[in-house]
Structure 1
Amino acid sequence: MNDSKAEAATLDNSAAPATVLEPTGALTVETVLSVHHWNEHLFSFKITRPASFRFRSGEFIMIGLQGDNGKPLLRAYSIASPSWAEEIEFLSIKVEDGPLTSKLQLIQPGDQIYLGRKPVGTLVTDALTPGKRLFLFGSGTGLAPFLSLIRDPDVYEMFEQVVIVHSVRRVADLAFRQELESQLAGDPLVEDQALVQLTYVPTVTREEFHTTGRINVLIENGRLFEGLKGEARMDPATDRVMLCGSMAMNKDIAAMLEGLGFVEGSNNKPADFVIERAFVG
């Protein structure tokens, strides 16, 4: 379903916004430009970007809609587009009874949406010390910030190899699979670097696929390192890691890394690996 154009919607100027929103001191009001439904519980969408909006690739921002009480209903979402993009893209799950996602999954091009004015986050290169290999471990919609980072030219200047690992339950959950398998062919800024430096490792846990198992299993059995330069293990002397996914994944891999001598970093104190602790619902 990754290339199902029938699932995608683009902005129709004749479509009227469902609700008229008002900006606040902390929120701008943006327009939905396009929506793509990957499957029955996963979708992505693009919105307009304010001229004054600045962010570092990998950061997250508060977005939302008007709640039943008439006030903004907001959640933290990682930005999936690179910092240079003219539009802002997000990747979201669909939760039938989720306070926000139950409404958000129904948005159409032309609708309005709240966008926070202050992006933040730890999944940024500023929070890591220099290294040779950058591993981006994501599960589900935790892929989003890494879609931003792998299209940032600075990342390829900082690291010799960039490895993006996406763990999902079903093959149909591998959002953006075509773009990643092509190593970002056609990207206006990083096409040449990605072709040489980017490795995409999709893995599926509940269906047959060429790579199966959770990320920690791929690390332990060595499958992760096939085709990569360097040691067939995680090495704090050369490797840097970003984690974004389920709490269980973050906890398990963080514990594994710390057991190997990796130190968690932050914006104030860069180190060997970082975790994003913001969630949507």
Structure 2
Amino acid sequence: MDTDLNAIVCQRIDLSDSAMIMRVIPEDGSAPDFRPGQFAVLGLPPDSPRCDNATTEQEIPDPDRLIQRSYSISSASMVKDFVEFYVSLVPHGLLTPRLFALQPGARLWFAPKPSGIFTLRNVPEDAHVLMFATSTGLAPFMSMLRTERLNHSKRKFALVHGARHSWQLPFRSELSSLQHICDNFAYLPIISRPDDEPVAWKGLTGHIQESWRDGSLDKIWDFHPVPDNTHIFLCGNPKMVDEMLEITLAEGYTKHTNRLPGTVHIERYW
């Protein structure tokens, strides 16, 4: 087993007992180059301790191999002091319970070259960008929005982020501020369980798909997004991705793949 743990946890921000922002730096002190939207592979040995909230593993890890998983990068591509990840705990999983046991200064494996095609690279510069995310599917969009010079762009950006509760919207303050600063950016947080809120929720409720059907985006942009002027990015819960893909394909959008460029870009989690 390759036990060369080549990176260090430099900061950890706990959002709850099951979600955190983890910042990692390779041991050479410089973050690798990557395109916003790409992912990196993290890993730990199977004998690494698991966090207190972990439950029984559903599978037994191979004792001779590092446990490795891919995580979307949430930091801007020009930041070289660290690489940021937004991680959600899977109590019965192999890697996240071990990641949640790490504290600043701990070491882990970091694959040296991020990869992935879930980027803005194939989006025309005059095409608007519409992003839909659930849970940690927000991570690649944070990287895109933090990297793009929104104030200097003529195209529109919109982000719809769905969660069960308002406290599961981790970058809400940053995104709300960005919306006030940039006239061409719209942020639409939507929660599915408003009755659980300690203070009355004044925003959108339901599921992400409903923000498309009820015209919430049309009202903000003053037009309905169509394939001729908009590219759509979907990231997170596979059910949301599949339903939104079906909705958009019915309106003439096409799925983007390595071989065939399209107007709907997808990244499924788990």
Residue number in structure 2 paired with 1:116: 111
Question: Hey, what's the Cα distance between the residues in 2 that align with 1:136 and 1:39?
Answer: 25
Of residues 59, 68, 74, the one that matches 2:38 is 59
Cα-Cα RMSD = 2.2
Q: 1:52 to 1:140 in 2, by over 3 A?
A: closer
Of residues 86, 89, 104, the one that matches 2:99 is 104
Of residues 253, 263, 269, the one that matches 1:262 is 253
Structure 1: give runs of 5+ residues left out of the alignment: 1-20, 24-28, 186-193
Which structure has more RCO (C-alpha within 8 Å, separation ≥ 6)?
A: 1
- Tell me which moved more, 146-155 or 108-117: 146-155
Q: 1:56 to 1:156 in 2, by over 3 A?
A: farther
SS in structure 1 of the partner of residue 194 of structure 2? coil
Matched, 1:146 2:137: no
Question: Hey, what's the Cα distance between the residues in 2 that align with 1:171 and 1:52?
Answer: 32
What stretches of structure 1 move > 4 A for 4+ residues in a row? 154-159
Q: 1:201 to 1:52 in 2, by over 3 A?
A: closer
- Tell me which moved more, 50-59 or 145-154: 50-59
Q: What do the CA deviations read for 1:138-185 (whole angstroms, capped 9, x no partner)? A: 000000000000012367766611101110011110011111111178
Q: Which amino acid aligns with 1:56?
A: R
Question: Hey, what's the Cα distance between the residues in 1 that align with 2:167 and 2:214?
Answer: 25
Question: Hey, what's the Cα distance between the residues in 2 that align with 1:161 and 1:184?
Answer: 11
Matched, 1:73 2:67: yes
* Aligned residues between the structures: 245
Q: 1:54 to 1:180 in 2, by over 3 A?
A: same
Q: TM-score, normalised by structure 2?
A: 0.83
Matched, 1:126 2:121: yes
Question: Any conservation in 2 of the 1:61–1:119 contact (CA below 8 Å)?
Answer: yes
Residue number in structure 2 paired with 1:10: none
SS in structure 2 of the partner of residue 125 of structure 1? coil
Question: Hey, what's the Cα distance between the residues in 2 that align with 1:168 and 1:265?
Answer: 26
What displacement does 1:195 show?
1.7
Question: Hey, what's the Cα distance between the residues in 2 that align with 1:139 and 1:126?
Answer: 22
What displacement does 1:123 show?
1.6
Q: TM-score, normalised by structure 1?
A: 0.80
- Tell me which moved more, 245-254 or 262-271: 262-271
Q: What do the CA deviations read for 1:94-128 (whole angstroms, capped 9, x no partner)? A: 12221111111121100011111222222211233
Q: Which amino acid aligns with 2:194?
A: E
Residue number in structure 2 paired with 1:22: 4
